[in-house]
Structure 1
Amino acid sequence: MTSVRNHRPQLSGNKWFIFVLALIVGACSPKIRTAPSSTVKTKTEKPVIKTDKPAEKPPVKAPEAKAHVLSLILPLGLDHAAAGQTYTAAGLKKANMAAEYYQGFKLALDSITAEGANFKLQVFDSKDDVAQSHSLALNPQIKASELIIGPVFPDDVKAFTAMLPSARKPIVSPLSPAAPSTFNNQNLVTMTPPLEYHAMGAATYIVKSLKPKKVFILNSGFSDEKLYTSPFKRTVDSLSKRKIQVITITVVRGNLTSLLKQLSPSNQNIFLVPSTKQAFLMVTLRSLDTLSKKYPVTLFGHPNWEKFAFLKSALLQRLNTHITSTDKVDYKSSQTNTFLRSYRRTYRTEPTDFAIKGFDQGLYFAKLLADNEDFNKPDLEDFSGIHNSFHFIKKPGVGWINTHVDILRYENFDLKKVQ
């Protein structure tokens, strides 16, 4: 899922100037060539004495690497940046996100360019408009690209991919966690794991690492929770060969009395709460907290819990809470710190989550293109990034899907990666 924390500042006016300037002078990332300096002869120089020694041949210039053409389609809304125009708050937020993603992506291309690769990056404004996305799908420059990244939002992706059903080149959905079946395009590359893969990741960890005899699913009664619980139950049943019992109940006003006879006083009791409704969570988690004083409790929650301020880390830690995530950055790693220094030096600001996502994805695809990767083969390479890792599966009719999620646990009032 795509979740953004608020501990880093939003894009400033200075960043907009840098961004617009980068669009003008830095959209293409050719291999840098240094022109030879000329020498001016002065009166004091001695004349050159000719000899019979044959002149040395000039060094043969190495051929420049082929320029790989990429098209980046982002909701910049640049018509609102024109004189006399203004952004709405929502429009400015989307434009900031687009600019930040672009900056991270461009920095990645520059780093691979320094190793000898050559790229031409074309940037297009989708304006977060379905009609504009539809029109961009017909643009000859975009259609001729080796790789298309964007649009960003599901409606725009759907309009864009509908016009390119048989294109033999990858179309990357960079940020949306929407299920790829929404688009039904065989060339789509879904970078953000959809919700079902979070459920499958949690179920796999429970079966293989915790090995319980029972798992209790506490529902609120809303049908949208089936998007999580259905793939979760299927995965538990499949991996355990139905040896782990999955017990589903609908909780009313936090009443868990019906479960008491089925709980173990000595072994961990595994609970899954798939809800994102504040009122239900506040009551149900308090009941689980009371229950945990007599019975060992291990709780698994929805990946969106990470951004809910009303869920206090002290309570989640007492419940031994785990969540799945694709957004965990290790700020102590050398890889992260190298990126941070480079980003700050280039853009004079702190990177946001979107900038880090852009860098990871730019680095991944730039390396594939530089290595002349065949995008028609069923498997794409695995990759460990700063923000998330990529492990793709290819499904008929819907393209490649990144299925990698991390398992995080609340520990010392923070989320720590356990797998």
Structure 2
Amino acid sequence: MKKLIIIITLFFSVVAIGQNYKTHMVTNGETIESIAKKYKVSTNELYALNPDAKTNFNQDMILIIPDGNADAGEVKETRAFVDYKKHRVKRKETLYGIAKEYGISVDDIKKHNTRLYAENLQKGDKIQIPRFKTVTTQEVKVNNTIRKYKVQPKEGVWRVAYKFNISVAQLESLNPDMGLILQPGQELNVPNIDNKDEKRFEEDYNYYTVLKSEGYMALNRKLGVTQEELEAINPELKEDGLKLGMIIKVPKTSKTTLVVEDIVNTNLSSKLTNFKEKKIAVMLPFRTAKLNLDAIDETKKKIRTDALLSASLDFHAGVLMALDSAKQLGISTHLKVFDTQNLSTEVAKILRDNDFSDYDAIIGPMLSENLNQVASELRKDNIPVLSPLTMPINLFDNVYQTIPSSELLVQTMINFVKSDTQPKHVVIISDSKNKVISDKLKGEFPSAKQVFSRNDKEGKEAYYINQNDLVNVFRTGRNIVFLETMNEGFASNVISMVNGMSTSSTQIILMTTDRNKAFDGREISNYHLSNLKFHYPSPNKTTDISSTINPFVRDYRRIYNVSPNKYAVRGFDLTFDLLLRLASADDLYQASSEDIETEYFENKFRYAKKMYGGYYNEAVYIVKYEDLTIVEAKL
């Protein structure tokens, strides 16, 4: 038997060499990377031919090597687009001179600034200079190492990379032209591994891409998962450890996108360095075509009754106030305002008739569908598009979601309660439509008591509880009551009941993760909410404008003869923050790191970047009712 094994081994070696392969014995100190470099092949090719090397790489191991000298094809260098650098054209500059300065061709510049095909270069023009990275590839005529793979429905870049146990960067190197968005049926080059070695995507887990310099302690702080837990569900970590770009499974309970931490607010007004004129566009649904400006009374009535028009006008007023405040800091702005008419056809016309390639940012459109249209079109020019009041449909890599998500609001509320070290007892009251959030809160606070609304005689939900449902539920001391509902009648029933049960010895504090219209209804008593110190998460805090001496409010009253409402305040805060960020860096992307948190009149902003997408605001307030006013809650 031993002779048979030797004969088979020798036969395999001879056949391998005959097919333009050779072997290599691993010596002390060698790595897969150093061997791949020595033979001018990729690590993926080595792993494809030597799958055991992934988990059992050791000295004296015999590796099969593609014979680069005998079978390697032509070495090719291709360029892959990275990003843009802004360039302001100086007097007498030409396209040829600019191209030579940046080491690219004139055609490269024109392709990324299409108006230059028809227009001459002018002094003061801001153009985008494409930057490329050089990708070196070598044609390998070894059928066993790399194979073609057809992308399946719902598969994205990271999922394909995970499936074949490579990083996204490695997948990109195998497919320089694959693009950010994969299409079903698209063919990709992937390592030729056995089907049984392909990793299967499991819905029961979240997935996380390891960032630069991240170790187990960093992941524990960020995700709340220990090294032992990670190694248990990712056995390869025991051998390979954590590596940049690798995709790992993490428990479903891990907060892979919602890492909420308090940081010190940044005063950007003291960090201004970029005083070039900022070019901003604002797109709002004024729908002026429907206004008869000759009929003053009719127009005034329209402004009062048309909520969309009123919000647009107020937001625009706040934008103008922000430009004036920024000007006092030395920041000049070129602003262009567009009326989208709240029509996709009008948005398409705006995009068709205007060149936004040299704009620093676009605010709006206000509604999600129209914003998605603008963001998708301007992706090719990498122009930031800010969603001012709504949640974007797609968080493209150039989109800024300025309103925190509902998931983030929930997590911030949970973190707030957990951070309170005082003794407390948690009670969760909800209707059946909110059972999911009730169960989530139960998971976060295992000792909490859950109470659900009652059903009527026919078994339908009646949206009420009675006194018996709360017998022995509350304890002496502090009781935190989460009320989760969108039904005003149920909210009124519960609020009235728990308010009557709150005493000096049994204190009840009312909270919710979602303050919706149910808490604003006529049947809801603000006196009860104030008595219960009602807490909830909010994208903004409410300021008592009547008593404030804030310069913005003072100037707004002077100009418009009224106090600013929430839309005007939002327009001011968002635009002022945008201008300060643009003036503190080369562009908005550079000024959007997670360690920068800014706060203005009623809003604050701290942007985090989605792994394969755009930016979202993760700055959230916890506010509460106190003495019939709403104030920021502090621990």
Q: Same fold (TM over 0.5)?
A: yes
Residue 324 of structure 1: aligned partner: 537
Match of 2:288 in 1: 78
- Residues 1:167 and 1:262: Cα distance change in structure 2 (over 3 Å): farther
Q: Distance in 1 between matches of 2:425 and 2:562?
A: 49
Instruction: Note the C-alpha offset of 1:206.
Output: 0.7
Cα shift at 1:152: 0.8
Match of 2:405 in 1: 194
- Say whether the 8 Å CA contact 2:479–2:507 is kept in structure 1: yes
Amino acid at match of 1:245: S
Contact 1:70–1:122, Cα closer than 8 Å, also in 2: yes
Which runs of 5 or more residues in structure 1 are unaligned?
1-63
Contact conserved, 2:400 with 2:614, CA < 8 A, in 1?
Answer: yes
Q: Which letter maps to 2:365?
A: P
- Return the alpha-carbon distance in structure 1 between the equivalents of residues 509 and 578 of structure 2: 39
Query: Contact 1:317 / 1:410 at 8 angstroms: preserved in 2?
Result: yes
Task: Tell me how far apart the structure 2 counterparts of residues 220 and 162 of structure 1 sit (CA, whole Å).
Answer: 39
* CA distance in 2: counterparts of 1:145 and 1:256, whole angstroms: 61
Is 1:257 the counterpart of 2:468? The answer is yes
Alignment of 1:20-419 (within 5 A): 66-82=276-292, 92-176=306-390, 178=391, 180=392, 182-209=393-420, 214-222=425-433, 226=436, 233=441, 237=444, 244-252=446-454, 253-255=464-466, 257-264=468-475, 266-293=476-503, 295-301=506-512, 302-304=514-516, 307-325=520-538, 326-331=540-545, 337-377=550-590, 379=593, 381-419=596-634
With 273-282 and 342-351 compared, the bigger mean Cα shift is at 342-351
Alignment-mate amino acid for residue 233 of structure 1: L
Q: 1:184 to 1:356 in 2, by over 3 A?
A: closer
Deviations 1:238-280 (A, max 9, x none): xxxx6x534444222213635534532x121211112121111
Mapped to 2, the partners of 1:211 and 1:138 lie a distance apart of 59
1:266-317 Cα distance to aligned partner (Å, 9 max, x none): 1212111121211111222223234335843111033236644432111112
Contact 2:597 2:619 in 1 (8 A): no
- Give the Å deviation of 1:360: 1.0
Cα 1:328/1:162, change in 2 over 3 Å: same
User: What's the offset of the Cα at 1:90?
Assistant: 8.8
For residues 257 and 81 of structure 1, the distance between their equivalents in structure 2, rounded to whole angstroms, comes to 58
Please tell me the residue identity of whatever aligns with 2:281. Answer: S
The range that moved more, 304-313 or 97-106, is 304-313
Residues 75, 212 of structure 1: CA spacing in aligned structure 2 closer, same or farther, 3 A cutoff? Answer: farther
Q: Secondary structure at the match of 1:303?
A: coil
Contact 2:425 2:478 in 1 (8 A): no
Q: Distance in 1 between matches of 2:611 and 2:544?
A: 34
Q: Supply the distance in 2 between the matched residues of 1:109 and 1:197 (Cα, whole angstroms).
A: 30
Q: What is the identity, as a one-letter code, of the residue corresponding to 2:447? A: Q
The sequence identity of aligned pairs, in percent, is 20
Other structure's SS at 2:489 match: helix
Closer, same or farther in 2 for the Cα pair 1:209/1:133, shift >3 Å? farther
Check the 8 A contact 2:284/2:366 in 1, yes or no: yes
Greater relative contact order (Cα 8 A, min sep 6): structure 1 or 2? 1
Q: Contact conserved, 2:395 with 2:401, CA < 8 A, in 1? A: no
Over the aligned positions, Cα root-mean-square deviation in angstroms equals: 3.1
8 Å contact from structure 1 (residues 270, 299) kept in 2: yes
What secondary structure does 2:557 align onto?
A: helix
What's the CA shift string for 1:375-403, capped at 9, x where partnerless? 33461631111012222222224422222
Find the counterpart in structure 1 of residue 214 from structure 2. Answer: none
Question: 1 CA distance for matches of 2:316 and 2:339?
Answer: 12
Distance 1:108 1:321 in 2: 33
CA gap of 1:157–1:309, structure 2 versus 1, over 3 A, is farther
Q: What is the TM-score of this pair, normalised by structure 1?
A: 0.72
1:121/1:394 Cα in 2 relative to 1: closer, same or farther (>3 Å)? same
Per the TM alignment, residue 168 of structure 1 is displaced from its structure 2 partner at its CA by 1.8
Question: Which has the higher Rg, Structure 1 or Structure 2?
Answer: 2
Partner of 2:71 in structure 1? none
CA contact (8 A) 2:570 2:602 kept: yes
Within 2, Cα distance between the matches of 1:245 and 1:374? 48
Q: If the length of structure 2 is used for normalisation, what is the TM-score?
A: 0.49
For residue 134 of structure 1, report the CA deviation from its aligned partner. 4.3
